[in-house]
Amino acid sequence: FCIFQMDTTQESYLDLFPLDAIVYLTPDSENVLEDIDPNKVYVLGGLVDESIHKKLTLQRAQEQSLQTARLPIREYMVKTVNTKNYHSETLAINQVFDVLSTYYETRSWPAALKAGVSSGKGYVLPD
């Protein structure tokens, strides 16, 4: 059982941390997050919007000259056959947080992805 301390501030992460320490998590990144580096600051690239804007968080990170990464969903999970033929690697902020916190505890991407990626996203762990 982990407890996380969270501080809130009006200041931008760009003013609080060195640029080379920030990793902006976005499903559109070409870089796969392979491990969590305790010396890095991970920004969950979130949008407060019900629609999915392709590459918007990636574009924002690039404009700020930040490193980017995506969760290793397609590396560890497989697409399911579903009636809507729907497959999405875009997760809600709480789902990304669940994945990251579970990975931090277990050091297992399958366990972490199972904890945060709902079957409604069209991905499951292989049998």
Q: How many CB atoms lie within 10 A of CB 123?
A: 19
Write down the pLDDT at residue 109: 98
Do strands 41-44 and 22-25 pair parallel, antiparallel, or not at all (unpaired)?
Answer: parallel
Write down the pLDDT at residue 34: 97
Write down the pLDDT at residue 32: 98
Report the alpha-carbon distance of residue 99 to residue 110 in Å, rounded.
Answer: 10
Is 49 catalytic? The answer is yes
Instruction: Find tokens 């079957």 and name the residue.
Output: 119
Tell me the pLDDT tens digit for each residue of 26-64. Answer: 999 999 999 999 999 999 866 555 555 678 888 999 999
86: nearest Cα among 119, 39, 57 = 119
Catalytic option among 35, 49, 98, 127: 49
Model confidence band, residue 92 (pLDDT cutoffs 50, 70, 90):
confident
CATH for 13-124 is 3.40.1280.30
